[in-house]
Structure 1
Amino acid sequence: MANFNTHLNVAALLTGVSSASLVAAGHVELNTAIWLWFLGTIGGLLPDIDSDNSTSLDTIFNIFAFTVIIFIMRYISGDDFRDLSFLEVIAVPVVTYGLMKYGLRAIFERLTVHRGSCHSLLFLVLCGLATTQIISSVDSINSSNADMIAWLSGGFIFLGGLIHLTLDEVYSVDLRNIKIKRSFGTALKIADFDNILLTLAMVTAVGALWYLTPEITSTIERLSDWSMFNLF
């Protein structure tokens, strides 16, 4: 299978070209394109979070933990809370990170196996819809483009993950000796049917998220129009 650098570089390249195309077509602004590029690159590492010793797991976990800490600090420092002391400002991030590292991450590592449920299209759909739902709830996004930005955010997470799975399958074919390795077929799959309970839970979560996500028709219509695309 492809290594960390290959996944990172190829995902960054292809999602970068994709986000640049959206700018050239007038669908998004440059700042939004950079955000989508970031999400696509992260998506390119996402399937390897089921590997307990992978660089992808460390990278994505640290980004996720940092994001959670920012949301918590923003929430507790809002108008409904009193001013925080120095020790509280230090303690909240440290405790949050500790709970995630030694609690949430440990549970996740116990429940998952490498090239299991996380190496599936179902997992990518789940992550994409979850991202769409989270972004759609951010109040600071321009209301006229909020739904499209939310769907594009989820779409780029899915795209990056799909690039990862495709690379793993390509690397399962030894072109020099014209043979297929035993790992072929374990990366790009619809779902992990060896773990039925987890798969059913993911299907249920996908159904719930799809019900909660914003309207998509207008986004499809806007993204279908490439008449303004400027190549040069």
Structure 2
Amino acid sequence: MANFNTHLNTAVIITGLGSATLLSAGHIDLNSALWLWFLGSIGGLLPDIDSDNSTSLDTIFNLFAFSAVLLVLHYITTELVIEISFIELIIVPLLVYGFMKYIIRPIFEWITVHRGSCHSLLFLVLSALLTTQVTWQLNSQLNTKAAIFAWLAGGFVLLGGLIHLMLDEIYSVDLSNVRIKRSFGTALKVADFDNKLITLTSVVAIVGLIYIAPPTEQTITALSDWSHFRFQTFNFTF
């Protein structure tokens, strides 16, 4: 199994190249590119959310807590249009962080086992669709670019997660001794069929999220146009 730094660094590099490519093609702006890079990097750590390793678990949940704080503050200030006082600006993030760390995290640790449901394609698809839906809800749903960015956000989480699972499978093959470790096949799997309840719940959730997902026609059309992509714009004269 690949270690924490390998997962993070590989996801950062590949999703960074991906967001830079989309930026060069004119599909997104710089702010969107940075967000996609951030989401892809989180996706690269996502399957280890069920890890028994304190470093992985602490890092992932701290990132989730930070993201949750930003989402809550964004919702309060833009959707509810409420002016927040200095004291509330301190209390609200602390409450959200405390909720994530002392309520959500213990529940998640209780219902998951390492390399279980979270190390599956089903979990990654669910996470990607959830990201797409949350991003879609937080932006103007009448804006075509909002739908495109929502799908890209989910896509980058999925990409980061796939990188993680593939790395784990690659590290399950010992090339020096030409043998396959016992962990081979436990990372990259369709679903955790040993836990039928979680698998069934995930499938139902995925179907529901697909039903209410943003429109795809305009997104596919926009992302099919690469006529503006420039590999390099430097002109060297000697």
Which TM-score applies when normalising by structure 1?
A: 0.91
Which residue is equivalent to 2:225?
225
Partners of 1:46 and 1:56 within 8 A in 2: no
Letter of the structure 2 residue corresponding to residue 165 of structure 1? L
Residues 142 and 60 (structure 1 numbering): CA distance in 2 closer, same or farther, change over 3 Å? Answer: farther
C-alpha distance in structure 1 between counterparts of 2:150 and 2:93, whole Å: 27
Residues 113 and 71 (structure 1 numbering): CA distance in 2 closer, same or farther, change over 3 Å? Answer: same
Following superposition, the deviation at residue 212 of structure 1 comes to: 1.1
C-alpha distance in structure 1 between counterparts of 2:175 and 2:32, whole Å: 39
Following superposition, the deviation at residue 220 of structure 1 comes to: 1.3
Measured on the aligned residues, the alpha-carbon RMSD in Å equals 2.1
Which residue is equivalent to 1:58?
58
Q: After the TM superposition, which of the residue ranges 176-185 and 221-230 deviates more from structure 2?
A: 221-230
Letter of the structure 2 residue corresponding to residue 20 of structure 1? A
Q: After the TM superposition, which of the residue ranges 36-45 and 131-140 deviates more from structure 2?
A: 131-140
Following superposition, the deviation at residue 118 of structure 1 comes to: 0.3
Residues 83 and 177 (structure 1 numbering): CA distance in 2 closer, same or farther, change over 3 Å? Answer: closer
- CA displacement 1:29-64 (0-9 Å, x = unmatched): 222111111111110000000013342321221122
Following superposition, the deviation at residue 70 of structure 1 comes to: 3.4
1:3 paired to 2:3: yes
Following superposition, the deviation at residue 128 of structure 1 comes to: 0.4
Residues 69 and 29 (structure 1 numbering): CA distance in 2 closer, same or farther, change over 3 Å? Answer: closer
Partners of 2:49 and 2:56 within 8 A in 1: yes
C-alpha distance in structure 1 between counterparts of 2:134 and 2:210, whole Å: 12
The residue correspondences of 1:47-196 to structure 2 (distance < 5 A) are 47-75=47-75, 84=85, 86=87, 88-139=88-139, 143-196=143-196
C-alpha distance in structure 2 between counterparts of 1:11 and 1:85, whole Å: 37
Question: Unpaired runs of 5+ in structure 1?
Answer: none
**% identical aligned pairs:** 61
1:28 paired to 2:28: yes
Partners of 1:48 and 1:54 within 8 A in 2: no
- CA displacement 1:84-129 (0-9 Å, x = unmatched): 573x544433333223212111010000000000000000000100
Question: Unpaired runs of 5+ in structure 2?
Answer: 233-238
C-alpha distance in structure 2 between counterparts of 1:189 and 1:63, whole Å: 25
C-alpha distance in structure 2 between counterparts of 1:144 and 1:80, whole Å: 24
Following superposition, the deviation at residue 189 of structure 1 comes to: 0.5
Q: After the TM superposition, which of the residue ranges 222-231 and 182-191 deviates more from structure 2?
A: 222-231
Following superposition, the deviation at residue 230 of structure 1 comes to: 1.2
- Provide the aligned length of Structure 1 versus Structure 2: 231
1:16 paired to 2:16: yes
C-alpha distance in structure 2 between counterparts of 1:100 and 1:138, whole Å: 20
C-alpha distance in structure 2 between counterparts of 1:91 and 1:224, whole Å: 45
Residues 29 and 72 (structure 1 numbering): CA distance in 2 closer, same or farther, change over 3 Å? Answer: closer
Which TM-score applies when normalising by structure 2?
A: 0.89
Residues 40 and 141 (structure 1 numbering): CA distance in 2 closer, same or farther, change over 3 Å? Answer: farther
C-alpha distance in structure 2 between counterparts of 1:82 and 1:113, whole Å: 42
Residues 72 and 230 (structure 1 numbering): CA distance in 2 closer, same or farther, change over 3 Å? Answer: closer
Following superposition, the deviation at residue 19 of structure 1 comes to: 1.1
C-alpha distance in structure 2 between counterparts of 1:140 and 1:171, whole Å: 42
C-alpha distance in structure 1 between counterparts of 2:99 and 2:215, whole Å: 35
- CA displacement 1:154-198 (0-9 Å, x = unmatched): 000000000000000000000111100000000000100010000
Partners of 2:120 and 2:188 within 8 A in 1: yes
